[in-house]
């Protein structure tokens, strides 16, 4: 197949920042892209070959879009899977496959999958709705505290809540959910795996994640994670296993907990480029986006090693500001060596909205960490 400067067309469902960063690589390789997104202001509306506005959950919209492309991928899991299945049955290559996506989209199914495949994960129970969960809690069949997770449509901290008392259950939505045992952990880690249809597979180094205490969004991603080499090896091995068991094609971001006694438990996966891999644009030999593209096109995978240490700081909208965005002190951070801001192209900011990220690279990870704090203190995403 000739992808480069040819009539070949790649379709991308979703036109957010992940799609936008993927487009940097389709432009580099001159691969034609069609993008579908509900918003006419989607960050990916620029730099694709054709932009289509439409609902990603609507069968006809996704099906009709997919009929025009040769390979179809997505940058968000919340897409109409039935349309993907029909497209696949009609010969469109869909990567990751709808079958994999089905196993991931529902967190209950995803957890069952880990158990069935002997992949270490925190113990869980599935419930068809909140009512059923409440009954079990009352009967003490589920003991407090635990982590409640909505089975579907959770994203960026929505759909996850620590339940410490019965009253914490009151304001939760009455949807399919899971209750997960709370496991004390030292670190939240992630490993990005890339795998192509031939079965060639590679992992990126283990990264360490720090979450913002209120917004439950990642605040720093540190590559490589400052953990014991043996723990890192274990994490990479588990991530490889997860990708292979899912028969996954493309990127799979595997989020994990490192427990107090250095066990690795898989938390959840994302079948797409992931926030925990953004550092790779500046730090890695091959960015996660380029490797996603290579994988879904069944091209040889690129080197996932790092050239230098990388730290990523998310730029989220400051509390108390809504409206046309201003990046306060961006010139100050640009003056620091090894600092690269990525601005996603959303004109309107609002509290905790993901507006961009900043990558800090340095040969010395300790220096990078100090600079990351400096960057974090300086820059603010506010409104005019």
Interaction site with a copy of itself (CB under 8 A)? 2, 4-5, 20, 23-24, 27-30, 43, 46-49, 285-286, 290, 294, 299-300, 302-303, 307-308, 325-327, 330-331, 334-335, 337-338, 340-347, 361
- Tell me: is residue 332 an annotated ligand-binding position: no
Residue 239 in tokens: 């991530």
Nearer to a copy of itself, 256 or 368 (CB): 368
Residue whose C-alpha is closest to residue 265's, from 150, 124, 133: 124
**Minimum CB distance to a copy of itself smaller for 203 or for 258:** 203
CB-based contact 30:5 (threshold 8 Å):
yes
Please tell me whether 180 is known to bind a ligand. yes
Q: Mind giving me the DSSP string for 13-79? A: E--SHHHHHHHHHHHHTT-EEEEEES-TT-GGGSSSSEEEE--TT-HHHHHHHHTT-SEEEESSS-S
Task: For residue 313, say whether it is annotated as part of any ligand binding site.
Answer: no
Q: What distances in angstroms separate CA 257 from CA 28, 65, 192, 238, one per listed residue?
A: 36, 38, 14, 12
- CB nearer a copy of itself, residue 43 or residue 205: 43
- Of 162 and 335, nearer to a copy of itself (C-beta) is 335
Q: How crowded is residue 115: how many other Cβ atoms within 10 Å of its Cβ? A: 12
Q: Closest by alpha carbon to 101, among 64, 62, 140, 74?
A: 74
93 is in an annotated binding site: no
Least gap, CB of 30 to a copy of itself (angstroms): 4
CB atoms within 10 A of CB 288: 28
Q: How far is the CB of 175 from a copy of itself (least distance, A)?
A: 35
Name the nearest CA neighbour of 168 among 140, 141, 133: 133
Distance in Å, CB of 370 to a copy of itself, minimum:
16
Q: How far is the CB of 343 from a copy of itself (least distance, A)?
A: 4
Task: Check the annotation: does 107 bind a ligand.
Answer: yes
Closest CB to a copy of itself among residues 234, 376 = 376
Structure-token pair, residue 384: 């005019």
Please, which residue, 229 or 337, has the CB nearer to a copy of itself? 337
CB of 19 to a copy of itself, least distance (A): 12
> For residues 221 and 199, what is the distance between their CA atoms, to the nearest angstrom?
28
Structure-token match 């490993």, residue found = 191
210 is in an annotated binding site: no
Tell me if 363 is assigned to a ligand binding site: no
CB of 300 to a copy of itself, least distance (A): 4
CB 67 to a copy of itself: min, Å = 23
- Is there a binding annotation on residue 183? yes
Map residue 383 onto helix, strand or coil.
strand
Biggest distance spanned by C-alpha atoms of the chain: 63
Q: Scanning the structure block, which residue is given the tokens 């009352």?
A: 138
Residue 116 annotated as part of some ligand binding site: no
Q: Which is nearer to a copy of itself, 62 or 315 (CB)?
A: 315
Binding-site sequence positions: 107, 149, 180-183, 188, 267-268
Binding-site sequence positions for ATP: 107, 149, 180-183, 188, 267-268
């Amino acid at each position: 197949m000739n992808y480069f400067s040819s009539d070949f067309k790649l379709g991308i469902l979703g036109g957010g920042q992940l799609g936008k960063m993927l487009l940097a690589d389709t432009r580099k390789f001159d691969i034609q892209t069609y993008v579908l997104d509900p918003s006419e202001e989607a960050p990916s509306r620029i730099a694709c070959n054709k932009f289509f506005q439409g609902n990603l959950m609507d069968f006809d919209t996704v099906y009709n879009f997919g009929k025009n492309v040769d390979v179809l991928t997505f940058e968000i899991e919340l897409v109409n899977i039935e349309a993907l299945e029909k497209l696949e049955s009609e010969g469109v290559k869909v990567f990751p496959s709808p079958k994999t996506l089905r196993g991931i989209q529902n967190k209950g199914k995803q957890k069952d999958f880990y158990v069935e495949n002997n992949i270490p994960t925190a113990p869980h129970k599935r419930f068809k709705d909140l009512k059923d969960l409440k009954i079990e809690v009352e009967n003490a069949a589920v003991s407090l505290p635990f982590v409640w997770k909505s089975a579907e449509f959770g994203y960026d901290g929505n759909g996850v809540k620590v339940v410490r008392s019965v009253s914490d259950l009151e304001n939760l939505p009455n949807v399919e959910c899971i209750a997960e045992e709370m496991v004390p952990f030292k670190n939240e880690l992630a490993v990005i795996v890339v795998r192509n249809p031939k079965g060639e597979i590679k992992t990126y180094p283990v990264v360490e994640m720090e979450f913002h205490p209120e917004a439950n969004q990642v605040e720093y991603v540190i590559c490589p994670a400052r953990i014991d080499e043996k723990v890192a090896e274990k994490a990479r091995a588990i991530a490889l296993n997860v990708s292979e068991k899912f028969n996954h094609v493309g990127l799979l971001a595997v989020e994990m907990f490192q427990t107090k006694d250095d066990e690795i438990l898989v938390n959840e996966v994302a079948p797409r480029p992931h926030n925990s891999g953004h550092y790779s644009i500046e730090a890695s030999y091959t960015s996660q986006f380029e490797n996603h593209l290579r994988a879904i096109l069944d091209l040889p995978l690129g080197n996932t090693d790092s050239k230098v240490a990388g730290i990523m700081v998310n730029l989220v909208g400051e509390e108390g500001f809504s409206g046309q965005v201003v990046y306060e002190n961006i010139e100050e951070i640009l003056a620091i060596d090894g600092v690269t801001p990525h601005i996603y192209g959303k004109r309107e900011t609002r509290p905790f909205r993901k507006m961009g990220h900043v990558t800090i690279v340095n040969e010395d990870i300790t220096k990078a960490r100090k600079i990351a704090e400096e960057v974090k203190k300086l820059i603010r995403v506010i409104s005019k």
